Chain A
Amino acid sequence: MAAKTQRRSHALNLLLIVVLVVWMILAAFPFIWTLWGSFKVEGDFFSKADWANALAGPLTLKETGGSFTGAGYHGAWIKEAFGLAAMNTVIVCLFVVTISLTFGTLGGYALSRSTYRYAYWFLIIALIFRAMPPITLVSGYLPVFFNWNLWGHLPTAIVVLVAINQPFTLWMLHSFFKNIPKDLDESAMVDGCNRFQAFRHVIVPVMWPGVITTGLFSFLLAYNDFAVTTMILSKENQTMVPKISSFLGTTQTKGNVMFAVAAVVSATAPLFVMVLFFQRQIVSGLTAGAVKG
């Protein structure tokens, strides 16, 4: 890397910096704007009078007496018990990621080692399964879940999210395992291990980077899911995203939009820590598991 950097011309460096700066503005600006606005009142944040009000906040000053207000945060966390939803999200994410990866590594490994045609068809069918729009799936679940008293519980949502996410997980892990040399586990089997022992003792220790990357995508899916969680979780088991949407109001009544804005900002903060923590793994993970189409 260092050698390469030295070779770069000034013009190229400049171009690089310009690209990065432009992209950073595009990527981060809406969020930073939201962060700033989350300390204002709704009349300012969604100012229909003059966009500059969102910066200066004249209504915030008038309504609360200060330039900034924590009312949105207070409302979301204290009045609306957003912490409970956050807790539910943590539970859902934890289990979805763990179960998805357990199922996915087993399946993905087998798919990468099988030379029979049905393995190909298995992958293709999984892909076609992924094409199904989630809303149709969820509306199909409802009568069954209600009938069997499964509706509303966290485990139900976890299992559904795991299942819906399986095709993606399988594809990604399958490609990853394909890049781990076959000799590794086959020589272990020559030494007298059975397939599962070979998997456990030889493959598991080297698979983590790929698994963590796949886990990141599973995590994001569970974290940001709206279609499934809003339909099959009861009020007390709600995760963050449906909770946020419940702040937005309905046709006939006004909502607490600023609660939603504050909640979104607070929901993003832990992700920052997480990305910083995992960034090396994310990268090395995908590196090792160059995903093949």
Chain B
Amino acid sequence: MLLRKMTLAVSLALSANVVFANCGDIAGKVSIVGNEFPAIHTVAKGAAACATDKLTVTSNLTADHQKINLAGLQGDPAEYTTAIIANSSIIALMNDDVIRPLDDLIAAHGADIPKSNLITIDGKVMAVAFMANAQHLAYRKDVLAEIGVEPPKTYEELLAAAEMIREKGIMENPVGGAYKSGWNLAQEFVNMYIGHGGEFYKPGTAEVAINNPQGVATLEMMKALTEYMNPDYLTHDSNATGAEMEAGNTALMNMWGSRIGALMDDEGAEEAVYSNIVVGGPMTVGGGTTPATTLWWDGWTVAKNASDEDAVATFVAMKNGTSPGILNDETMGEAVWMIEGYTPAPVNDGVFASIKAGSKPYPMLPFQGLLHTALGDNLSDFLQGKESAEQALADTEAAYTTAAKEKGFLN
């Protein structure tokens, strides 16, 4: 046993990612399902460091995690003992009641988890957050210097700057936007609508209420922005807007904090481009004070249908996977970690600025997913000039209402 421990210690010390494992004496099965990107790989690796003869840790990290996590947690016993989710995707798991409250586990094994990381709903802790994300301004400092403008703080300033860039002939389509019909477009609407101070529903109900002056103003602003975008904007997701920025075609855009690193590194762009890409804060719109963006967290949950033993094992392993021990030079830049000992790099300034500016989190409502889908399907007709803003919003409301009736939220 001692020899085993020693070889383990040596092999840990030799591996590139030294993971500190202090999991105590736990046994059972830990099985993780989650999205696939480096930060989540790091977490899964951290959890796997707890593995012993008695404890198995497996993970299935895939971009399609949302299609399988619900079914994977529904079985009894559940195939997955934990799902890594974000504030939008936890909803599906809560709606079907497949994740368990963590209060007793925290009391027994997690007293040292920072209070602010606990996602509490109705007094019960349902998830533990470990990283944050937000969309915010990314811009080309050389281009703004050329037109002599400060980085925009509002969307109105951004429009003015875009006009100047186009007028001076620096760029034809200086604004980038992930306006791809579907999820992305709906996300931009949600951002902008929150920036206009809009409320999505009649208070306390599932009745949608977006066909109002804020809704129209939101669409008008989005349309004004599209005038400065590449004409293909309805096909552009964040992959495409990132590529546009790296190609030097755009100078201003609202971008995910988690993607800034790839923009600012020396791959995929000329030096004159990548060395001039900088992050700004989130922008406000229409004289509002709430930034037109949403805050996101990624966190982990524990399956309701896991045995109590597995639940404890999962809790401890995931806690280890999101403990300060996972942070090192390599993993530090992978995300905006909400972990003690994290030192932000310049690429993460935007996310911090978004949090500081009082941005709202993406709405965590049981029926928000239905509205998001409805928005994604119905707004492009307006942006293409095929129908009025009111019509587009009315279509969205009608589509949402139909869906909400089917799901039992409305009668």
Answer yes or no: are A and B bound together in one complex: yes
Which residues from chain A sit less than 8 Å from chain B, CB to CB? 41-43, 46-49, 59, 62-63, 139, 142-143, 145-147, 149, 151-152, 230-231, 234-235, 242, 245-246, 248-255
Out of B36, B72, B247, name the residue touching A47 (CB < 8 Å): B247
Chain B: which residue is nearest A245 at the CB level? B63
A22 to chain B, nearest CB (A): 28
Which residues of chain A have C-beta atoms less than 8 A from B249's C-beta? 48-49
B60: chain A residues within 8 A (beta carbon): 152, 234-235
Decide: B238 and A252 in contact? CB cutoff 8 A: yes
**A267-B78 Cα distance, complex, nearest whole Å:** 35
Complex contact A230–B64 (CB within 8 A): yes
Cα–Cα, bound, A15→B242 (Å): 46
Binary contact track B227-247/A, C-beta < 8 Å → 1, others 0: 000000000011100111011
Task: Give the CA-CA distance A48 to B250 in the complex, in Å.
Answer: 11
Q: Is B212 an interface residue (CB 8 A)?
A: no
Given A235-B61, A251-B238, are A48 and B79 neighbors across the interface (CB < 8 Å)? no
Q: A-facing mask of B50-92, CB < 8 A → 1, else 0? A: 0000000001111110011001101110110000000000000
With A235-B59, A235-B60, A251-B183 as contacts: A142 and B68 at CB distance below 8 Å:
yes
Known contacts A143-B74, A251-B238, A252-B259; is A48 also within 8 Å of B244 by CB? yes
Is B269's CB under 8 angstroms from A250's CB? no
Q: Is the CB of B259 within 8 A of A253?
A: yes
The answer to whether A149 touches B79 (Cβ under 8 A) is: yes
Which residue among A142, A143, A234, A250 has the maximum number of chain B CB atoms within 10 Å of its CB?
A250
Compute how far the CA of A251 lies from the CA of B186 in the bound complex, rounded to whole angstroms: 13
Once A49-B249, A235-B62, A245-B63 are accepted as A-B contacts, the answer to whether A59 and B242 lie under 8 Å apart by CB is no
CB of A200 to closest CB in B, whole Å: 43
Q: Which of A47, A234, A253 has the most CB of B within 10 A?
A: A253
Please measure, in the bound complex, the distance between the C-alpha atom of A149 and the C-alpha atom of B31, giving whole angstroms.
13
Candidates B59, B63, B239, B269; contact of A43 at CB < 8 Å: B269
User: Closest Cβ of chain B: how far from A146's Cβ, in Å?
Assistant: 4
Report the bound CA distance from A254 to B237 in whole Å.
Answer: 11
Closest partner residue, chain A, to B73 (CB atom): A146
The residue on A at minimum CB distance from B249 is A48
Inter-chain contact B270/A254, CB cutoff 8 Å = no
**Which residues from chain A contact B259 at a C-beta distance below 8 Å?**
252-254
Task: Tell me whether B238 and A143 are in contact (CB under 8 A).
Answer: no
Are A254 and B242 in touch, CB under 8 angstroms? yes
Contacts of B258 in A (CB 8 A): 252-253
Residues of A within 8 A of B239 (CB): 249, 254-255
Asked whether B269 lies within 8 Å of A151 as measured between CB atoms, the reply is no
Cβ of B242: which chain A residues have Cβ within 8 Å of it?
A: 254
- CB neighbours (8 Å) of A149 from chain B are 75, 79
Binds A, one of B111-119, B260-268, B280-288, B378-386: B260-268
Q: Roughly how many angstroms separate A230 CA and B66 CA in the complex, as a whole number?
A: 12
Let me know if B248 is at the binding interface, CB within 8 A: yes
What is the CA–CA distance of A265 and B254 in the complex, to the nearest angstrom?
Answer: 34
Ranked nearest first, the 5 interchain pairs of A and B with the lowest CB-CB distance are A48-B247, A142-B71, A253-B37, A43-B268, A146-B75
User: Which residue in chain B gives the minimum CB-CB distance to A47?
Assistant: B247
CA distance A49 to B59 in the complex (A): 39
Chain B residue nearest to A142 in the complex (CB)? B71
B68 near A41 with CB under 8 A, answer no
CB of A39, distance to nearest CB on chain B (Å): 16
Nearest CB to that of A141 among chain B residues? B71
The CA of A250 and the CA of B400, in the complex, are separated in Å by: 26
- Let me know if A43 and B267 touch, CB within 8 A: yes
Query: In the complex, how many angstroms separate the beta carbon of B187 from the nearest chain A beta carbon?
Result: 8
List, in ascending order, chain B residues with CB within 8 A of A46's CB. Answer: 243
Does B262 lie within 8 Å of A63, measured CB to CB? no
Q: Which A-chain residue is minimally distant from B180 (CB atoms)?
A: A251
Question: With the chains together, A28 CA to B259 CA distance in Å?
Answer: 35
> Can you name the residue of chain B whose Cβ is closest to the Cβ of A58?
B270
Q: Which of B17-68 contact A (CB under 8 A)?
A: 35-38, 59-64, 67-68
When the two chains form their complex, are residues B256 and A48 in contact, meaning their CB atoms are under 8 A apart? no
Check if B247 sits within 8 Å of A49, measured CB to CB: yes
Rounded to whole Å, the gap between the CB of B88 and the closest CB of chain A is: 11
- The CA of A230 and the CA of B246, in the complex, are separated in Å by 31
Which residues on the A side are within 8 Å of B67 (C-beta)? 139, 142, 231
Complex: A146 Cα to B76 Cα, angstroms: 9
